[in-house]
Amino acid sequence: MRNTEQTLNTAIGELRCLSPNSPASLDELTALSAARDCVDELLRSCVAQLRAGPQRTHSWADIAYALGAASGNATRQRYGSELALADEQVRSFWRAFADRFAWEFLPAGFLHALYTQWMGAEFPEDARLSRETFTRRLKVPATASGEWAHTRSRPGVMMNAAEPLAVGLAEWSRDGSNDAIYGLRRSGTTSGILTA
């Protein structure tokens, strides 16, 4: 971020006034308030720069997701390293593939098989999440932008396109039926939606 060094230094200076080993004081409350104001200013500046950046204008959904997502370090401190690592891996998986899908509907089984293959290549020593756990954790990053929705649908024509990412998946194959299954449906796609 540009033009933020002074604001950042002020926030850090205020936070250094805190003493976690002693009872709270009015001076500490004042320091926290000043630090919060500095952080708020930094957030506003960052959002403004993201919205006006010449490289890519970020959508409000992207910005809202970034504001709501805890950093990996904060998540590790709060929940432990194993849980945070798994969540980071699911988010990394989604970022790696989100813009590459040809299908309008992505069955949960297909996504889990792709995740398992990706984990084997990227993190061969780490344990893979079960399909249910993976699907539950994938919902947040996959639906944050509004482009995808988690739903139960009949795939129908939403999976007629050639999907290069499905080629070579050892743990999944399309069964050819049009039974309703859970997965991610690209927003704006209406065929296959169950109404009952």
The residue written with tokens 């399309």 in the block is 174
Read off the pLDDT of residues 47-103 as tens digits, 9 standing for 90 and up. 777 777 666 666 666 666 566 555 555 544 554 555 568 888 999 999 999 999 999
| Helix/strand/coil percentages in the chain, nearest 5 | 55, 10, 35
Question: Does position 137 have pLDDT exceeding 80, yes or no?
Answer: yes
Would you state the structure tokens that stand for residue 111, as one six-digit string?
Answer: 């996504």
| Alpha-carbon gap, residue 99 to 145, rounded angstroms | 12
Return the structure tokens found at 100.
């590459």
pTM for this structure? 0.56
Let me know: does 15 contact 23? Beta carbons within 8 Å: no
Higher pLDDT, 21 or 69: 21
pLDDT in tens, 151-196: 999 888 898 888 999 988 888 877 777 788 999 999 875 554 444 4
Task: Assign 116 a pLDDT band (cuts: 50, 70, 90).
Answer: very high
Q: Are strands 148-153 and 181-186 parallel, antiparallel or unpaired?
A: antiparallel
Q: Side chain identity at 149, as an amino acid letter?
A: A
